[in-house]
Amino acid sequence: MAINKEKAAFSSLLPVLAFIKPYKWVVFAALGALLLTAGVNLSLGQGVKFVIDHGFIAGSQEQLQQAVMVLIGLISLLAIGTFCRFYLMSWIGERVSNDIRNAIFERIVTLHPSYFEENRSGELMSRLTTDTTLLQSIIGSSFSMALRSSLMLVGGLAMLLITNLKLTLVVVACVPMVLVPMLIFGRKVRKLASSSQDAIADISTYAGEIIQNIKVVQSFSHEAREKAAFAEETNKAFLVAKSRIKQRSLLIAAVIFLTFSAISVMLWVGGSDVLAGTMTGGELGAFVFYAIMVAMSVATVAEVYGELQRAAGAAARLLELLAVESMIQNPAHNKDDQLELNKADHPAIRFDNVSFNYPSRPDKAALSTLNLEVKQGQTVAIVGPSGAGKTTLFELLQRFYDPSAGSISLAGINIKELSLHCLRQQMGMVAQNPILFSCDVMHNIRYGNPHASDEQVFTAAKYAHADEFITQLPQGYHSFLGEQGVRLSGGQKQRIVLARAILKDPAILLLDEATSALDAQSESHVQAALEHLMKDRTTLIIAHRLATVKHADVIVVMDKGEIIATGTHQQLLTSNPLYKQLCELQFNRD
């Protein structure tokens, strides 16, 4: 995502048109309203001329009244047109930016997990929010402002020429005087605005991390340090903002001074003509009106131009994200209907010479030429020191990554030939750190099977030995669990996650045993829940407990990405020194 924040070709805005296309009728209606208001705006100048010449100068009360009535009529039309234009344009802006958000989210949820190791979630978040908001303001307001101003600029200049040639030349001479400072200061303001946004993003990243790790901060009594560090961040943002507002204030002051000076010069030149009788007062009034209109249009176009540039940058970044293809793809033709896990002539799971490197560590193999067969209904315990590649085995089995070499099959079918949905539907994964959504218990358990009835959820919770503590929560199954389930103990979280797996009722169970989070009592609860879950199911379990290991049909010992031994507990105790050592160090808690 190394696209220049400031500038990108305007052509990168073109693909956004595809998102606007479904609403083209709304766009036409808005353009109609835009033409109407521009037309009325231009004719208002004639109204001003009429009121002055036929009302004041002619001294006719009746004509003044008529003129004012016409003026009010025009103004009403302007109000209605403006309502339509503003409403419709903003509607399109909001609709399209939300459509783009949906498209991006849809893309993000299907991307291969390693993408998220390379790209910070905060950055993706700002794609979803800041960049789309920028586009929304462009489509919804800036663009229509630019269009309207361009129309007014051309129309206003034409009306100026019609009204008075000499004065028009004065105006045309003054325009660059206003434009030059605008362009100079404007560029500075934009640059500072963009670094201002970056500074704000830094603030929120910083605060987000501290809030998430608040207990660590407090237990080390680092509140004061963090406060100071945070204040430094906010101060940086303030300093950037200060120079930005200084430039902006200068810009506004310069524009006001130059515009009104130019108008004064015009009044002086035009006033002399009125005095000399070569021009009517109404003409001068209309002229000033159009001149102001032209000046404002020029200012708007210049300002919007810069914004369009930023939007082009945002669009380029968004489209880049939309173009990312997941490295894990569904097969063109899947063999889902041939999958029969209880077929006897193939092992349920088979790793065949599987090697794998994580994309971020191309030179270090996480698994090397690994072979493993798991029969239908078997429980296989995997043991090994930390970093041996146990969890990696599970990740490959679920196709979060594809092996660099070798293949993995379910009942004789290469998992790459199964649809991702079918493959993952066969498996229930209980991760080492239970992962909960910040919703209620019901939602968290039902995540295993969205179609399950309330009764089924209760039953699953009972099997997971979770029902008892859930019903004691303040709102039972509708108790809110807080972010990451902070309102539960480790063992309780574990049991909710187990209930989720029970509800999914998968053919293959992948368990990454949690150790540290559990006290003796919840450990026995979790153990009982696990036993229920594992019964008659093909299970791979990364074991940290002697009880689990003893229950297993086969134990696999892994080290440095390889399987170094397989056997039963008794066999391995005598034949494998690493296993013996693991038993002494890790399993001695039972």
Task: Scan residues 372-391 and list those touching Mg ion (CB under 5 A).
Answer: 391
Contact 134, 24 (CB under 8 A): no
When the beta carbons of 175 and 405 are compared against ligand ADP, the nearer one is 405
| Contact with ligand ADP (CB under 6 A) among 347, 389, 434, 491 | 389
Q: Least distance to ligand ADP from the beta carbon of 118, Å?
A: 10
Comparison of 258 and 408: residue with beta carbon closer to ligand ADP: 408
Q: Which stretch binds ligand ADP (CB under 6 A): 75-83, 206-214, 226-234, 355-363?
A: 355-363
Q: Judged by CB under 5 A, how many residues of this single chain contact Mg ion?
A: 1
Q: Show Cβ contacts of residue 158 under 8 Å, excluding neighbours closer than 6 positions.
A: none
- Long-range pairs for 562-568 at CB < 8 Å and ≥24 separation? 562/367, 562/368, 562/369, 562/370, 562/389, 563/370, 563/371, 563/372
Residue 545 Cα to chain centre, angstroms: 41
Helix locations, 213-280, DSSP H: 214-219, 223-276
Nearer to Mg ion, 104 or 382 (CB): 382
Q: Which amino acid is at 268?
A: W
For residue 324, the 8-state DSSP code is P
Q: Which residues contact 45 (CB under 8 A, 6 or more apart)?
A: 159, 163, 286, 289, 290, 293
Cβ atoms 30, 92 nearer than 8 A: yes
Residues 213-272 that bind Mg ion (CB under 5 A): none
Question: Nearest approach, Cβ of 545 to ligand ADP (angstroms)?
Answer: 16
What size, in residues, is the chain?
Answer: 590
Minimum Å distance from CB 341 to ligand ADP? 25
CB 511 to ligand ADP: min, Å: 12
Nearest to Mg ion of 382, 526 (CB atom) = 382
Print the binding letters for residues 357-386 with ligand ADP: x by CB under 6 A, - otherwise. Answer: -x-xx----x-----------------x-x
Partner residues linked to 354 by β-bridges: 370
- Is 286 a residue that touches ligand ADP (CB under 6 A)? no
Q: Is 392 in the site for ligand ADP (CB under 6 A)?
A: yes
The structure tokens listed for 157 are 């200049």
Shorter beta-carbon distance to ligand ADP: residue 3 or 583:
583
117 binds, among Mg ion, ligand ADP, none (CB under 5 to 8 A by kind): ligand ADP
Between CA 49 and CA 10 the distance in angstroms is: 41
Question: Considering only residues 391, 404, 407, 425, which one is a binding residue for ligand ADP as defined by CB under 6 A?
Answer: 391
Q: Looking at 387, 476, 482, 577, which residue binds ligand ADP (CB under 6 A)?
A: 387
Q: Please, what's the b/e burial string for 491-503 (b: 16 or more CB within 10 A of its CB; e: otherwise)? A: bbbbbbbbbbbbb
Q: 504, 533 in Cβ contact below 8 A?
A: no
Q: With CB cut-offs between 5 and 8 Å by kind, which of Mg ion, ligand ADP, none does residue 333 bind? A: none
The one-character DSSP state at 129 is I
Minimum CB distance to ligand ADP, residue 382 (Å): 8
425: contact with ligand ADP by CB under 6 A:
no
- Looking at the Cβ atoms of 117 and 468, the one nearer to ligand ADP is 117
The terminus-to-terminus CA distance of the chain in angstroms comes to 51
137 forms part of the interface with Mg ion (CB under 5 A): no
- Options 96-104, 150-158, 252-260, 356-364: segment touching ligand ADP (CB under 6 A): 356-364
**With CB under 6 A as the contact rule, which of the stretches 73-81, 149-157, 354-362, 530-538 interacts with ligand ADP?**
354-362
CA separation for the pair 42, 25 (Å, rounded):
26
Residue count, binding to ligand ADP (CB under 6 A): 13
Please state whether 399 falls in left (phi above 0), alpha (psi between -120 and 50) or beta.
Answer: left
Choose from ligand ADP, Mg ion, none: what does 360 bind? Cβ within 5-8 Å by kind.
ligand ADP
Site for ligand ADP contains 388 (CB under 6 A)? yes
Tokens of 91: 């509607």
Nearer to Mg ion, 88 or 372 (CB): 372
Residue 66 structure tokens: 């008529």
What are 349's strand-pairing partners? 374, 410
Which positions from 100 through 139 interact with ligand ADP, judged by CB under 6 A?
117
Contacts of 516 (CB under 8 A, 6+ apart): 490
Confirm or reject binding of residue 291 to ligand ADP (CB under 6 A). no
Strands in 319-462 per DSSP E:
349-357, 365-374, 379-383, 405-410, 413-414, 427-430
| Least separation in angstroms between CB 486 and Mg ion | 23
Of 141 and 404, CB closest to ligand ADP: 404
Which of 243/391 has CB closer to Mg ion? 391
User: Residue 282 corresponds to which amino acid?
Assistant: G
Smallest gap from residue 385 Cβ to ligand ADP (A): 7
Extended strands (E) in 41-183: none
Query: Applying CB under 6 A, does 390 fall inside the site for ligand ADP?
Result: yes
Nearer to ligand ADP, 262 or 396 (CB): 396
Angle between helices 143-163 and 24-50 (to 10 degrees): 30
559 dihedral zone (left: phi>0; alpha: psi -120 to 50; beta): beta
Tell me which DSSP letter residue 440 carries: B
Distance, CA of 399 to CA of 393 (rounded, Å)? 10
Mark 305-344 with x for binding to ligand ADP (rule: CB under 6 A) and - for no binding: ----------------------------------------
CB nearer to ligand ADP: give 383 or 410.
Answer: 383
> Which entry of ligand ADP, Mg ion, none binds 197, CB below 5 to 8 A by partner kind?
none
Q: Is the dihedral of CA 400, 404, 409, 412 positive or negative?
A: positive
- 369 lies in the site for Mg ion, by CB under 5 A: no
Q: Does 196 contact ligand ADP by CB under 6 A?
A: no
Site string for ligand ADP, 478-517 (x = CB under 6 A): ----------------------------------------
The b/e string for 378-404 (b: 16+ C-beta within 10 A; e otherwise) is: bbbbbbbeeebbbbbbbbbbbbebebb
The H or E element containing residue 36 is helix 24-50
Residue nearest to Mg ion (CB): 391
**List of residues contacting Mg ion (CB under 5 A):** 391
**List of residues contacting ligand ADP (CB under 6 A):** 117, 358, 360-361, 366, 384, 386-392
